[in-house]
Structure 1
Amino acid sequence: TAAGLRILQQGGNAFDAAIAAAAVIAVVEPNSNHVGGDAFALCHPAGAPTPVAVNASGPAPAEDRPERHSQGIPAHGLESATVPGAVSAWETVLARFGTMRLADALAPAIDYAEAGFPVDYALAAALHEMREVLARFPASAAIFLPGGEPLRRGQLLAQPDLAATLRAIAADGAGAFYRGGFADALARAAQSDGGAFVREDLAGYACEVVAPVRTFYRGWEILEQPLPSQGFVVLEALNIVEGFELEQLEFGSAQLLHVLLEAKKLAFADRHAFMGDPRFVRAPVAQVLTKEFAAQRRMALDPARASREQSRGDPSNIGTDTTAITVADAHGNAIAFIQSVFRSFGSGYVVPGTGVLLNNRRTGFALDPRSPNVLAGGKRTVHTLNTYMVLREGRPALLGSSPGGHYQVQANLQIITNLLDFGMHVQEAIDAPRWYHDEETGRVVLESRFDPAVGGVLRSRGHEVRWDAPWCGHARAQAIAFDTDSETLFGATDPRWHGQVLGF
């Protein structure tokens, strides 16, 4: 955050600041994101007629196939990774919307990688938790487990190999990463350690700049990331709940939670049934985001009983580890940027000689050939990463994201309705008690700040309820709200995690 603020103070714009901050956090929070991760962004350049989306999710290696994974896709190691897309996003955002050179934006990150930084409590805890995984890979252990033990709080973490990789990118652009030394090192690692990666998997990669997906909710225009992000889930759920007068329900009541939960279940059922990489499958996103389809899905929502398993809709009938950066500047530029290695420390695998920790996003694929998200060479998995933007008369009113796997879209749904239906201030909307629906267990998880009676009512309706801590931290929201009358920006960060708001 401080690195981004310094860029703004030096005359850079919001896009310059976001990329500088993204590069720094890729160095100092390796448990959540790294140079070997993916990224998505929603960008609103000042004066532009409409925002654009940046999709920097990487594909599986071209030679990968489900048959190679008879025991399942491994959770860690080279075989869990996809082509990292974040570096391409950094270069693309700066080239299209920024004012600074990539070398200047990366300079703070290079300094942190070279000189090191003290490990904080969250990173120390993550290192301790993941020590057995990191110990499996010599290059990872050398960085994070010096002497065989995880770095402790206050110890210095220096990453000289990563600094050298970042210097090469700063000097020669993303090509130095995708077609230079890093690509060579990854190909050598695949030959020695086993894996499907070849140099060509990286040489042909570039992120996409595409149109966002959108809907209108109670007069507000809501934008999200298009596929392969699952951001459309937020929009479909909003369309479904638009048929209910949420503002007439008491905030935090069992009835409000029930409606939002069931809308989430319906949207996720469609996510699992239809959605995949649009280069490989015909995903009916446009139909799913129509008001007619939402009305059809709303009919499946029982206002009094919980569903155990939602069936998918029929569009043909219609005629735990990520980082987020949100920046706006005085000129009207705004960006919601998110990047991740997926699970804690991603693959756990540092490519030898590069300092680059790879993601484990390949574990997001299905191996069932009937799934639209089935693994295929060169295909991108459906992604949990997403950012949102709310427009009023074409101007940004709110932008943000909520790192946290499948919890992201659920937190974003709640924050948006808190603001637009209940009139909360942006910090209130983030602070408010949250629920989460666990995709694997089917349980509803409630923060203990909800009224205890709410859990009983939800159980009586068929929900399986589990209480969690008052601030459980499954998603860590960051947002900026715009007061167009006073031309004031309001930043908000989630007390569930160690985010920070800075401005000048």
Structure 2
Amino acid sequence: MKKLVFLASLLFFTFSSIAQDRLTGETFTTRSEILARKGMAATSQPLATQAALDILKKGGSAMDAAIAANAVLGLVEPASCGIGGDIFAIVWDAKEGKLYGFNGSGRAPQSLNIDYFMEQGMKYVPFTGPLPVTVPGCVDGWFALHEKFGKLPMKELLQPAIQYGREGFPVSEVIAYEMVSNYEYVQDQPGFKKTYMPEGYIPRKGEVFKNPDLANTYDKIAKGGRDAFYKGDIAKTIDSYMKAHGGFLSYEDMAGHTSNWVEPLSINYRGYDIWELPPNGQGTAALQILNILEGYDIASMGFGSAEYLHVLTEAKKLAYEDRAKFYADPAFNKIPISDLLSDGYASERRKLIDMSKAADTYPAGDLEIETGNTTYLTVADKDGNMVSLIQSIYSEFASGMVPDGLGFVLQNRGQMFNVQDRNHANALQPGKRPFHTIIPAFITKDGKPHTSFGLMGGAVQPQGHAQIVVNIVDFGMNLQEAGDAPRMRHSGSSQPTGSVMTNGGTLNLESGFDYKTVRELRKKGHRIGTRVGIYGGYQAIGVDLENRVYTGASESRKDGQAAGY
């Protein structure tokens, strides 16, 4: 008997030491929100967060801090982001009381068209190698955003990343896992091993990794400006590298690159204005999902209920069919945005949902049209300016192509082009921007800033954005709870590349949902999946204007950190 009592006591102690009940808030929350008054930064890696805070403390603006953090992330999180990729942002200008939208995505090479793939019998653009490489828009984005919203010199903003590149940094846990899990697909691409496997293997958690080539590239950019990247030796190196390895991206493509300021799109969801960027990104899908959901009493359904997850999934399916048909580069297409976001259209789409049964397929909307890895960060400063910024090279390690001596991988965003149907809105054309998955988001209420947030992870982003908004607005969660809450990710919708959803796709549910809910969803015809690591990575900053307090959140799925001062 004494032995049984001892074992029972030991078992209780063991479970008690593994996890403690939180004193406040939802049980699934990993930590409290971060509160501060003068500034806040939330990124997917603590070194980047600290770099942003250091810039804020030196008197830098929110944009200055965001650029510094992004540069560090390009070094410490190389499988997800970097200056070989693109950038998007939504910026709250406190002085003007206005939101600005920014599209810093690159275009397809002028010498590459859909005929090349059709003649080769290729139905899709490959993920790796030279063919999916488009012009990297990140650096031009930094300078355009800095010109409008920056204070400190670019040289000072890039110095933390330059120093870490030369002295080295310890690789953090989740990033190490992502690197080790994904390098095999690209390790034989020219230049990859020299940069990312200098010792013959991918660096592991806790190992100190250096990238002096990237540090030197950053230094050239800091001294020579954006033209050092697009018209100088860096562009010439990229040009000669691509020619040597069968690529199409040229010096002329680099030199001709431009970014664009765009008007953010919004819908009102139960009194909150939700803001996204227009296509060629997929932010419109998040707004479409929310428009459909507003017709239901979501709060009464309850978080994690089968009823809520069912209607959320069906709304996602409907929005993603429109995403596959309509979302593309607006310079090449007239996109019916106002129709897609209208209340009347949402009402018509909502009628297609059967609350008792999952649909195998939905039609895309009959509207007139003329012919996913990432890092997200958000920063707020003492003057009330807020930046919602997302930057990516697309899939893990992207194309795998690392130009000689530059220290970064070129993005593979061109993989998203449709090369099967030349009449498709997202069909490859010279100089065209591909459909993009990365989307920053922002919430205002009564014309004032409320929350800057984003969620990384390819196709999960619009459905993730919708879940964050619902968690905050309908379920009353705070910013940390809204991100830590278990999420769903439906996969299998029709894609802008040309593939089509069949058999309803798969509803993947993160751990944390009740099994009774899983049973009920299966009864409705949902195919349930349990994949891990596909639910995105969220950061957010909220603002309490009455008390002049910022709230920061960084979820537990990444190595991230929210911190303020």
Within the candidate set 503, 516, 523, 1:460 is matched to: 523
- Aligned identity (percent) is 38
1:122-180 deviation per Cα after TM superposition (whole angstroms, max 9, x unaligned): 34333333343343134211121224322233333222221221111111211110111
Name the structure 1 match of 2:546. Answer: 485
Question: 8 Å contact 2:228–2:234 — kept in the other structure?
Answer: yes
Match of 1:214 in 2: 266
Shift of 1:329: 1.7
Residues 220-235 of structure 1 correspond to what in structure 2 (within 5 A)? 220-235=272-287
CA drift of 1:448 comes to 2.4
Matched position secondary structure for 1:501: strand
Amino acid at match of 2:284: F
Give the conservation status (yes or no) of the 8 Å contact 1:127–1:144.
no
The equivalent of 1:28 in structure 2 is: 76
Q: In the alignment, is the contact (CA less than 8 A) between 1:293 and 1:315 conserved in 2?
A: no
* Divergent runs of 4+, >4 A: none
Matched, 1:202 2:254: yes
Matched, 1:153 2:214: no
Question: Residue 446 of structure 1: which of 488, 503, 509 is its match?
Answer: 509
Residue 462 (structure 2) pairs with residue 409 (structure 1): yes
Q: Residue 91 of structure 2 corresponds to which residue in structure 1? A: 43
Of residues 146-155 and 184-193 in structure 1, the stretch that sits farther from structure 2 once superposed is 146-155
Task: Name whichever of 120-129 and 332-341 sits farther off.
Answer: 120-129
**Greater relative contact order (Cα 8 A, min sep 6): structure 1 or 2?**
2
> Residue in 2 aligned with 1:127?
179
- Residue 296 of structure 1 pairs with residue 359 of structure 2: no
**Equivalent position SS for 2:489:** strand
Separation (CA, whole Å) in 1 of partners of 2:113 and 2:368: 30
Q: Does residue 449 of structure 2 align to residue 386 of structure 1?
A: no
Inter-partner Cα distance in structure 1 for 2:435 and 2:345: 21
Query: Does the Cα contact within 8 Å between 2:280 and 2:330 map onto a contact in 1?
Result: yes
Report deviation, 1:250. 1.8
1:221-261 alpha-carbon deviations (Å, 9 max, x no partner)? 11101111100101111111111111121221111111111
2:285/2:462 contact within 8 Å kept? yes
2:456 partner SS? coil
Q: Does 1:499 align with 2:551?
A: no
Q: Please state how far the C-alpha of 1:488 moved relative to its aligned partner.
A: 1.6
Of 365, 372, 397, which residue of structure 1 is paired with 2:450? 397
8 Å contact 1:401–1:478 — kept in the other structure? yes
| Code of the aligned partner of 2:331 | R
Whether the aligned pair in 1 keeps the contact of 2:87 and 2:138 (CA below 8 Å) is: yes
The residue type equivalent to 1:185 in the other structure is: T
Write the distance in 1 (CA, Å) between the matches of 2:184 and 2:270. Answer: 50
Q: Distance in 2 between matches of 1:302 and 1:7?
A: 52
CA distance in 2, matches of 1:433, 1:199: 46
Instruction: Give the match for residue 330 of structure 1.
Output: 382
Cα distance in 2 between the residues matched to 1:494 and 1:123: 15
| 1:414/1:434 contact within 8 Å kept | yes
Q: How many residues were matched structurally?
A: 500
> Is the contact between residue 119 and residue 151 of structure 1 (CA under 8 Å) also seen in structure 2?
yes
State the alpha-carbon separation in 2 of the partners of residues 390 and 289 from structure 1. Answer: 17
Post-superposition Cα deviations, 1:98-133, rounded to whole Å, max 9, x if no partner, equal 111111111111111222222233343333333433
Q: Call closer, same or farther: CA 1:448–1:43 in 2, change over 3 Å.
A: same
Please say if 1:375 is aligned against 2:406: no
**1-side partners of 2:295 and 2:449: how far apart?**
25
8 Å CA contact 2:281–2:327 kept in 1: the answer is: no
State which drifts further: 444-453 or 122-131.
122-131
Deviations 1:21-78 (A, max 9, x none): 0111111110110110111110011122420111111111011112222333221122
Quick one: which amino acid aligns to residue 309 of structure 1?
A: T
Partners of 2:434 and 2:296 in 1: CA distance: 33
C-alpha distance after superposition, 1:334-379 (max 9, x if no partner) = 0110101111111111111222211111111111224211111111
Structure 2 stretches lacking a partner, 5+ long:
1-48, 494-500
2:526 is paired with a residue whose SS is coil
Structure 1: 5+ residue stretches without partners: none
Q: Work out the CA distance in 2 between the residues paired with 1:406 and 1:90.
A: 25
Cα distance in 1 for partners of 2:205, 2:445 equals 45
Once the two structures are superposed, the pairs formed by residues 68-217 of structure 1 within 5 Å of their partners are: 68-69=116-117, 70=120, 71=122, 72-217=124-269
**Letter of the structure 1 residue corresponding to residue 547 of structure 2:** S
Aligned residue for 2:290?
Answer: 238
Distance in 2 of aligned mates of 1:48 and 1:503:
24
Following TM superposition, by how much is the alpha carbon of 1:473 offset from its aligned partner in structure 2, in angstroms? 5.1
What residue in structure 1 maps to residue 28 of structure 2? none
Displacement after TM superposition at 1:302 (Å):
1.6
Equivalent residues in 2 for 1:417-436 (5 A)?
Answer: 417-436=470-489
